[in-house]
Amino acid sequence: MAKAARAGVSVPLPIFIDPPTFTIVESRVRGRILKDASDQAPSLMKFVGVQLAKLHLSGVVHGDFTTSNVLVDQSGTPFIIDFGLGSSSTGLEERGVDLLLMKKSLEANAPSLAKQLFSDFFEGYRETFGEGSDDVLRRSGEIEKRGRYYAERAFERDLPGYLKSWKADGGSLHNGALWHQGSTSQGEEI
Ligand SMILES: Nc1ncnc2c1ncn2[C@@H]1O[C@H](COP(=O)(O)OP(=O)(O)OP(=O)(O)O)[C@@H](O)[C@H]1O
Ligand SMILES: [Mg+2]
């Protein structure tokens, strides 16, 4: 978060950071989360794209870049929050995940507007990130196709629900591992 602030990313102002107790005191943003503001102007999404590009250029990935982790204040300025899953990385994969998470959360919040909002977002990202931004977008599309990421998140967030759909899909549970009909002789272990 401190790195992001230094790189000029719009984040709440860090006031006090105490690593031994994992404490961060930061300025309060009065407003709402982007999820509830995503019907707003394209300029807002574009600005969010610019922030993510700045973050990536500074060598940081967010790790949970969803519409719930962007706060929009009363003047319409977005602030990136929740760096709990953030890390130092310049990897295409991690950058692609950040883009994909924004796309997926827009699709979940505002299905009919998501395409346009993501395109506004990516316009800002591309303008600021510059060369290589299309590679990040391409990678996010590949990750989406792979589906790996979603399986992992569904698994982490809603284990009972995940198991139910796994079973409904012909899977079963043996010796603490998930097995699926028609998979390899060893089954598929999660
Ligand atoms: N600087 C801030 N100013 C105002 N409200 C904030 C600020 N930071 C967080 N919040 C509020 O707290 C909520 C949760 O914050 P945050 O996203 O950081 O944590 P989380 O998602 O609950 O936790 P986790 O670290 O487990 O992902 C936000 O949706 C927002 O409403
Ligand atoms: Mg959060």
Per-residue pLDDT reduced to its tens digit, 11-66: 999 888 888 998 889 999 999 999 988 566 778 999 999 999 999 999 999 999 99
72 and 163: one domain? no
For ligand 1, what atom is nearest to the CA of residue 30?
A: 4
Q: Do residues 46 and 74 share a domain?
A: yes
**Model confidence over 146-163: pLDDT tens digits?**
876 556 666 666 667 766
Burial tier of 57 (Cβ tally within 10 Å: 0-12, 13-18, 19+): middle
The percentage of the chain sitting over the pLDDT mark of 90, rounded to a whole number, equals: 59
By alpha-carbon position, which residue is closest to atom 23 of ligand 1? 82
Q: List, for residues 167-185, the tens digit of each pLDDT value.
A: 666 666 555 555 555 444 4
Query: Which of 95, 90, 98, 100 has its CA nearest to residue 136?
Result: 95
Ligand 1 proximity of 73 Cβ (cutoff 6 Å): no
Please tell me the predicted confidence (pLDDT) of residue 14: 86
DSSP E strands in 9-166: the ranges are 14-18, 23-26, 31-33, 60-61, 70-73, 78-80, 87-88
The answer to whether residues 162 and 150 belong to one domain is no
Query: What is the predicted pLDDT for the residue at 189?
Result: 40
Q: How far apart are the first and last CA of the chain?
A: 32
Which residue range is the domain that position 151 belongs to?
2-157
Count of domains in the chain? 2
d(CA 117, CA 148): 24
1: confidence class by pLDDT, cuts 50, 70, 90: confident
Single pTM value for the model: 0.79
Q: Are residues 59 and 92 in the same domain?
A: yes
Candidate from 81, 109, 157 with most ligand 1 atoms within 8 A of CB, to mutate: 81
Please indicate, yes or no, whether residues 176 and 153 belong to a single structural domain of this protein: no
| pLDDT (mean) for 103-114 | 92
Q: Are residues 163 and 142 in the same domain?
A: no
How many angstroms does the Cα of residue 21 sit away from the middle of ligand 1? 18
149/181 same-domain check = no
Whether 39 and 116 map to the same domain: the answer is yes
